[in-house]
Amino acid sequence: MWFKKVDKRKTEADKPELPGKVRYTKYYEHDGALRSYANRAMVLAFLCVPTALLAVALAAYVRIQPPTVIRVDPNGEASLLGRSEKPSPELAISVTQGSDAAPTDFEKRAFVRLFLERWLDFSPVNVANNWAESLNMMTTDQQRLMLNALKSDNTVGKIQQDQTSSLFHLRVIEPSKEDPLTFTVYGVKEVHRVREHNDEATRTVGEFHIRLVSERRSEQNPSGLLVAEYWEREIEGSKRDAILHDTALQPPQ
């Protein structure tokens, strides 16, 4: 009797039927959710409108801008047509520096350094390529002179036979006071040769004399510089010890 099972369906059926408005009293929850979604979509639409207008305005502004036209007068001064402001110094330099422009001191030093690195840094694998690039940096007369010396002594063959490698440490580049295209370079060469399974290492301090000539700039020679004269000699004495001391303390450049 205490555990009598009650049929819920029958109990609900016995209840009197309520009016429709009373039975669906929570309709406002569904309506509120729909209105909330509509409000969010409206806010998003209003946010997208100014973004689209700004993008269209920027595109129109870019399209109506006139092209940049640079005029160079006989004095080498560059000016922008249709604009009152002066061009930046970088723009003026890039426009006025033509094929006849003289090489700067920075370009001359960089050319000397690159030539010595190609000529004095080599191994049996890359010696032919490095020396070919170095010869291309010389004048025709200097090329002929160096090629004859290399062929008569069979230098490349000896380097490959003895597995000779060279490493050059540049220390000082001094321009000549009489000629701005002449430089004296001091550095150290470390040469390793393998003979009868033995590594023979030598270190020499050298003075390298380089005289440059200037020609018209081109795509093949952007700096317009060529090596017209080159020779080297070994240094002894206190100057040699000073350069070796600097080499031991400073990293190779």
Please state the rounded mean pLDDT for residues 230-241: 84
Please state the rounded mean pLDDT for residues 52-56: 89
User: Residue 201 has what pLDDT?
Assistant: 86
Residue pair 136/211 in contact by the 8 Å Cβ criterion: no
Mean pLDDT of the chain: 79
Under the banding of pLDDT at 50, 70 and 90, the label for residue 36 is: confident
pLDDT digits 0-9 by tens, 174-224: 999 899 999 999 989 999 888 777 878 888 898 999 999 998 888 888 888
Q: Which one is predicted more confidently, 159 or 15?
A: 159
Please state the rounded mean pLDDT for residues 130-153: 91
Q: Say what the pTM is.
A: 0.58
Q: Is the pLDDT at 8 greater than 70, yes or no? A: no
Please state the rounded mean pLDDT for residues 102-112: 90
What is the CATH number assigned to the segment(s) 105-249? 3.10.450.230
Cα separation of 127 and 166, whole Å? 10
User: Residue 175 has what pLDDT?
Assistant: 92
Which of 30-39, 50-59, 148-157, 225-234 is the least confident region?
A: 30-39
The three state secondary structure string of the chain is: CCCCCCCHHHHHHHCCCCCHHHHCCCHHHHHHHHHHHHHHHHHHHHHHHHHHHHHHHHHHHHHHCCCCCEEECCCCCEEECCCCCCCCHHHHHHHHCCCCCCCCHHHHHHHHHHHHHHHHCECCCCHHHHHHHHHHCECHHHHHHHHHHHHHHCHHHHHHHHCCEEEEEEEEEEECCCCCCEEEEEEEEEEEEEECCEEEEEEEEEEEEEEEEECCCCCCCCCCEEEEEEEEEECCCHHHHHHHHHHHHCCCC
Under the banding of pLDDT at 50, 70 and 90, the label for residue 248 is: very low
Under the banding of pLDDT at 50, 70 and 90, the label for residue 91 is: very low
Q: Which one is predicted more confidently, 2 or 42?
A: 42
Where do the domains of the chain lie?
Answer: 20-63, 70-98, 105-249
The packing angle between helices 127-136 and 155-162, to 10°, is 150
Q: Is the pLDDT at 159 greater than 60, yes or no? A: yes
Q: Is the pLDDT at 19 greater than 80, yes or no? A: no
